[in-house]
Chains A and B, each alone.
Chain A
Amino acid sequence: EALVLNDPDFQHEDLNFLSRSQRYEQAIRKSSLMVMKLREYGIADPEEIFWFKSFVHRGRPEPLDLHLGMFLPTLLTQATPEQQDRFFMPAWNLEIIGTYAQTEMGHGTHLRGLETTATYDPATQEFILNSPTVTSIKWWPGGLGKTSNHAIVLAQLYTQGQCKGLHAFIVPIRQLGTHEPLPGITVGDIGPKFGYDEMDNGYLKMDNFRIPRENMLMKYAQVKPDGTYVKPVSDKLTYGTMVFIRSIIVGDSARSLSRACTIAIRYSAVRHQSELKPGEPEPQILDYQTQQYKLFPLLATAYAFHFVGAYIKDTYHRISGDISEGDLSELPELHALTAGLKAFTSWTANAGIEECRMACGGHGYSRCSGIPDIYVTFTPSCTYEGENTVMMLQTARFLVKSYSQVSSGQQVTGMVSYLNDLSRQRIQPQHVAARAVTVRINDPASLVEAYKARAARLVEAAAKNLQAELNHRKSKEDAWNRTSVDLVRASEAHCHYVVVKLFTAKLSEISNAAVRAVLTDLCLLYALFGISKNTGDFLQAGILTSAQITQVNQHVKELLAVIRPNAVALVDSFDFHDVHLGSVLGRYDGNVYENMFEWAKKSPLNKTEVHESFHKHLKPMQAKL
């Protein structure tokens, strides 16, 4: 951290005042330096690289993201040893800069729908790559627009007249030396977006572009010189990468929300507004119940997601060990769980960041608050690496499958083991009602049970509705589609349960009593606030009574007052450096107003005292009228 912050090479003008081209240029400049310094300091550990990178770019995307994050790792995992010899060292030394071109203009999450073709020509031992339609143009890959000279392209493989499905090919796209696009390649930037200004997301159109046979990544599937296709052994392994990337998004949700909370809570302590007690000075807005009600549940959520992110990462590392020993048994559940948690946490954080911005009133809307930037950088994660609704439905598929296993008498394990209880409940119809009074709203463990019951009930309801649709003799896909709203709700309830459970489990691991006490309050707030926002689910299932709901609502408000004295300390603990936070409102020293003025003076509109528009338009108009 200090390494980067004190390095004069990494300083630059406030990005808010730069045009998109300038932001891209700055990012490229810093990336180039970064690569050099990483080598200079000998930093090679992925975790350390990640931190170094996040400080150089202050949590923003950068044009080499795809080269470092996708191109190099894909070479490592999917290239044959010969291919690695050819490509890896040049790529490591950045003679080759690559990207990963999967998404097409007309096709996203549904991979099988991709249209790009790679047709094998045994006569020349080449693949001929084509973008046959407008919709098949590769669209969005980061670093593709201006930076990369190679791309790993996903295309439908045709050999001996047959389509063999999607495969990955290494495609040179720009001339080494001149950086001009190669003949047959059309490549460019897709234009301005909601954020990601420093990233050259690009398009790529290929027109009978030929690459040697050896450029197909052939560690698993192969095409022999004569065109014979050799199938891969197992495809489950790709799950691992997806789980890893999604676990990063969960961590990102926690980090982005933490940053927004830090800004909003510090600013709410600095900002004074209106009158609480007649005759007294304007109070800090953080003293208003409505303000606490907006921010403290989000603070609790940021902590919750932090622990969830850590849990997934640890589980992934643990399971990775098993996988390398050939044990894939835990992978399906982890895959299903991370899909849902990716969606659950990114949706929640996305809404939470906006809530933080709104809680800062008008100034939150200024780019100097830093929150607009956090928002636009984070919000695409609701869509990339698997669109959230689709992710929720993947989790639902696993839940329904587990449910039908239980129905047919099998036991299920892991996070879904609560479904095992359902069959027993059906024998005792009074069971659910009897459970109602046993929920203790001051006890996190008891609230975990309440969330568990809610998840069980919603999974069961969705599964039954799905069965009812199937009984109408509809096609399986139709029935699934007609139940999908229920299924998403069930997944959400499941994920919510997992988060409450993991947060609660974390409490017992904390040895410092004061820290444990304050985190217990946050955990309770997280769980109770979730109930008060979803009272219908708990009431309808008879898990809680109306009287208990009233108590829950009351207790939420009491907790707000309890947390209030620690609020600023709780965001200080996130330990974001001012430079990393990038916010005038969220400064550690709280000198907000002076610095807003200083910031505004640098605005491009203020470059000259009289703007040129005056001479061009205003003056002639006044003269004429």
Chain B
Amino acid sequence: SVNPDLASERQTASFCVEKLTALLDGGAEQTRIRRAVVEAIESDPVFSRENQYFQTQNERYETAVRKAVHLQKKMHEMGWTENGPEYKYIYRALSGDVAFLLHRVFMRSISVLGSDKQIAKWIPLATQHQLIGSYAQTELGHGTYLQGLETTAVFDTATQEFILNTPKISAMKWWPGDMGRSATHTVVFAQLYIHGKCHGIHPFIVQIRSLQDHSLCPGVTAGDIGPKMNFEHIDNGYLMLKNVRIPRDNMLSKFCEVRPDGTYVRQGSQKINYFTMTTVRISLIADEVLIPLMKACTIAIRYSAIRRQSKLKPGEQEAKILDYQTQQEKLLPQLAAVYAFHFINDYLQELFNRGYREIQRKNFDMLPELHALSSGFKAVITHHCTAAVEICLRACGGHGYSLLSGLPSLYTKIIASCIYEGENTILLLQTARFLIKCFMAASAGHPVPPSVTYLAAVKPGNCPAKNKLDFLRPDIYTEAYQHVAVRLISSTAAKLQDLIQSGVKKYNAWNQCTVQLVQAAKAHCHYITVKNFAETVEKLETKAGIQRIMKHLCDLFALHGIFSNTGAFLHDGYISASQMDMVTASYLDLLAVIRKDAVPLVDAFDFTDKSLNSALGSYDGQVYQRLYEWAQKSPTNEMSPAYERYLKPLLHNTLSKL
């Protein structure tokens, strides 16, 4: 039975939950397919995550390998293919708790970087799992900055082989997933040397383990890098190479080739490759970032509806913590952010699909803009959502810290997204570089890409809002965001120029402005997100109450951004001190409005209880019973040897005999 405190929340929904679910899925048919995939996976005991919180690193790894192997069988059984409509839901249904994810990256890198001959040779082997691949780029001493990698591949004309080496400890490959224990092959990125000359970083296929008994190949040292904050199921690995020889054909050679005599040839355009890297940053947003935040919101909001604490009114029952303004102010903006980022993700996906079509027609004009958007949004969304998950965790009081709440695992997993696929600060600086360039171009009257045309049309003036209701007008707040973005970009550009004109070297000037540049890039992304949210709401169908509640969330997202960053809007007086009080008032009013729909809004995410794997967040709200039942299953409740060995002597005061 459903906890009455949660049941009552569902009776007052102002909109149709099922309709909103369909909107999030991209249509009712998609919802149907997704549910079918989730049902098929969750009903299979091999995929169960029931004891996950009690397992050691070794057990988690073994389970993940078992699941990965079983998944092949399952897909065959169900008739799911990699190109089918079901495929994208499998990962979500597994909650990412499966091995061999890097195997796919291995395959993709061969498809993108390999010659036709190489693709024909390796892809079938990989598809049939005759080998297990990984992707070894990052080194112990080198991350985001690729040119700094130290692994070497020296071409030996005599034997037509590359000799791979890890010249020093900081050059050891470190972090690649599936490499610590599972992989038999990996794509190694190394500095290519021919006849003593360095040609920069290139990818090589290297076999690291025997296909017979899985032992390490000669010259190869590899293993697991040890426990991390999460990803216990993945064997992130290290790899050291000592005079490992591979045939000339193992250098992935779509773009660069080494001829038998050692001649180095470049061919084709690298731009498609560049586009692929850019796409990866966008593709992780939905599964790795938005879903964890959606789950965290679901858990925290449902729990806040059943948890009662203190009295709001004397003589009444203790109040639901969701009724406290401070609790609403923690959780509801995170809920609004989920929707804001969901819609911006749709926008980016569409833009990238268009970009892909253009690139196929050999038109590369969109690349700089796509690159800037993917870098900036990857950084802004991962950062925002990570902070949001932590807020959800801490909004659940003590029980949030129990692994059984599900929140610690969501948090420790999502935080990794701030680092992988490009460290966030570096990515924001890449976006900033693009913005400064476009700003200069726009100021000189040159055309600029669509997402930054606003930089050319700077309107002077102040915010026209007269009362607090004006701040519920999308045109009013969108323009405020635009104003701040323009101000930060233009003032940073001016500062850069001043420094350069006063004789400071260009790179030095850049380093001196990086803090501001990061702020400018964030402001740009924030503006685009608000603008896109407002435009999306406008286009939604008005029936079933969907548009109305989305409008509230859009307003909340926008006003929360102003409320938490008042200085940026007050700085040049665009918003006045008294207008800022109106923003605050409108913002706080909205909390009470959205409060009524909070539970239906998370129900619409449509997570099964198994998928949430949380004692606090289940649909029926029977939190306390579940917490008690689950705790009793903890292995720590078996009699501990600590009693006989240490406690007993301690209690019996025979310590001195120890």
Q: Point out residues on A near B: beta carbons under 8 Å.
A: 16-17, 19-21, 24-25, 28-29, 32-33, 35-36, 93-95, 97, 103, 105-110, 113, 134-135, 137, 139-140, 145-147, 149, 176, 179, 188-196, 200, 203, 271-278, 282, 288-290, 293-294, 354, 358, 361-362, 364-368, 372, 376, 379-380, 382-384, 387-389, 393, 475, 477-478, 481-486, 488, 534-542, 546, 549, 553, 557, 593-594, 596-597, 599-606, 609-614, 616-622, 625
From residue A315, how far is it (CB to closest CB) to chain B in Å?
28
Q: What residues of chain B lie closer than 8 Å to A534, measured between beta carbons?
A: 567
- Considering the chains assembled together, what is the distance between the CA atoms of A146 and B228 in angstroms? 27
Q: Contacts A191-B404, A594-B169 given: A21-B635 contact, CB under 8 Å?
A: yes
- The answer to whether A603 and B225 touch across the interface, beta carbons within 8 angstroms, is yes
- The answer to whether A478 and B148 touch across the interface, beta carbons within 8 angstroms, is no
Q: Point out residues on B near A: beta carbons under 8 Å.
A: 53-54, 56-58, 61-62, 65-66, 69, 72, 128-130, 132, 138, 140-145, 147-148, 169-170, 172, 174-175, 180-182, 211, 213-216, 223-229, 235, 238, 307-314, 318, 323-327, 329-330, 390, 393-394, 397-404, 407-408, 411-412, 415-416, 418-420, 423-426, 429, 505, 507-508, 511-512, 514-516, 518, 565-573, 577, 580, 584, 588, 624-625, 627-628, 630-637, 640-643, 645-653, 655-656, 658
- The answer to whether A546 and B624 touch across the interface, beta carbons within 8 angstroms, is no
Q: Contacts A109-B309, A622-B130 given: A189-B631 contact, CB under 8 Å?
A: yes
Q: Which of B213, B238, B419, B512 contacts A289 (CB 8 A)?
A: B512
Give chain B's interface secondary structure class. Answer: helix
- Considering the chains assembled together, what is the distance between the CA atoms of A534 and B568 in angstroms? 9
Q: Which of A17, A139, A147, A549 contacts B567 (CB 8 A)?
A: A549
Q: Which of A278, A376, A618 contacts B214 (CB 8 A)?
A: A618
Q: What residues of chain A lie closer than 8 Å to B53, measured between beta carbons?
A: 191-192
- The answer to whether B235 and A622 touch across the interface, beta carbons within 8 angstroms, is no
Which 8 residue pairs across A and B have the least CB separation, nearest first?
Answer: A536-B566, A535-B567, A194-B408, A605-B224, A191-B634, A536-B567, A603-B226, A274-B145
- Considering the chains assembled together, what is the distance between the CA atoms of A383 and B309 in angstroms? 14
- The answer to whether B646 and A593 touch across the interface, beta carbons within 8 angstroms, is no
A-B contact pairs, 27 of them (CB 8 A): A25-B645, A32-B658, A93-B653, A97-B647, A146-B643, A147-B647, A189-B634, A189-B636, A191-B636, A271-B141, A274-B145, A289-B515, A290-B515, A361-B419, A372-B229, A376-B408, A485-B326, A537-B567, A539-B571, A557-B512, A605-B57, A605-B224, A611-B181, A617-B69, A618-B65, A620-B69, A625-B129
- Considering the chains assembled together, what is the distance between the CA atoms of A97 and B532 in angstroms? 61
For the complex with contacts A140-B398, A618-B132, 10 further pairs of A-B residues with Cβ separation under 8 Å are A191-B636, A196-B401, A289-B512, A367-B229, A389-B327, A484-B325, A486-B584, A536-B566, A536-B569, A616-B62
- The answer to whether A613 and B65 touch across the interface, beta carbons within 8 angstroms, is yes
- Considering the chains assembled together, what is the distance between the CA atoms of A617 and B424 in angstroms? 37
- The answer to whether B647 and A113 touch across the interface, beta carbons within 8 angstroms, is no
Q: Which of B403, B423, B566, B656 contacts A36 (CB 8 A)?
A: B656
Q: What residues of chain B lie closer than 8 Å to A196, measured between beta carbons?
A: 401
- The answer to whether A28 and B642 touch across the interface, beta carbons within 8 angstroms, is yes
- The answer to whether A28 and B646 touch across the interface, beta carbons within 8 angstroms, is yes
Q: Which of A108, A137, A625 contacts B130 (CB 8 A)?
A: A625
| CB nearest neighbor in A for B145 | A274
Q: What residues of chain A lie closer than 8 Å to B571, measured between beta carbons?
A: 535, 539, 546, 549
From residue A463, how far is it (CB to closest CB) to chain B in Å?
15
| CB nearest neighbor in B for A9 | B658
- Considering the chains assembled together, what is the distance between the CA atoms of A594 and B568 in angstroms? 45
Q: Which of A192, A546, A602, A610 contacts B215 (CB 8 A)?
A: A610
- The answer to whether A361 and B214 touch across the interface, beta carbons within 8 angstroms, is no
Q: What residues of chain B lie closer than 8 Å to A538, measured between beta carbons?
A: 567
- The answer to whether A362 and B62 touch across the interface, beta carbons within 8 angstroms, is no
Q: What residues of chain A lie closer than 8 Å to B424, measured between beta carbons?
A: 358
- The answer to whether A107 and B656 touch across the interface, beta carbons within 8 angstroms, is no
Q: What residues of chain A lie closer than 8 Å to B641, measured between beta carbons?
A: 25
- The answer to whether B129 and A188 touch across the interface, beta carbons within 8 angstroms, is no
From residue A253, how far is it (CB to closest CB) to chain B in Å?
15
- Considering the chains assembled together, what is the distance between the CA atoms of A535 and B415 in angstroms? 28
Q: What residues of chain A lie closer than 8 Å to B318, measured between beta carbons?
A: 110, 113
- Considering the chains assembled together, what is the distance between the CA atoms of A536 and B633 in angstroms? 51
Most chain A CB within a 10 A radius of its CB, from B54, B214, B404, B651:
B651
From residue A296, how far is it (CB to closest CB) to chain B in Å?
12
- Considering the chains assembled together, what is the distance between the CA atoms of A17 and B232 in angstroms? 12
Q: What residues of chain A lie closer than 8 Å to B223, measured between beta carbons?
A: 600-601, 603, 605-606
From residue B594, how far is it (CB to closest CB) to chain A in Å?
14
| CB nearest neighbor in A for B648 | A179
- The answer to whether A146 and B226 touch across the interface, beta carbons within 8 angstroms, is no
- The answer to whether A382 and B394 touch across the interface, beta carbons within 8 angstroms, is yes
- The answer to whether A600 and B651 touch across the interface, beta carbons within 8 angstroms, is no
- Considering the chains assembled together, what is the distance between the CA atoms of A606 and B225 in angstroms? 9
- Considering the chains assembled together, what is the distance between the CA atoms of A379 and B72 in angstroms? 41
From residue A481, how far is it (CB to closest CB) to chain B in Å?
5
- The answer to whether B326 and A488 touch across the interface, beta carbons within 8 angstroms, is yes
Q: Contacts A32-B649, A600-B223, A600-B226 given: A593-B403 contact, CB under 8 Å?
A: no
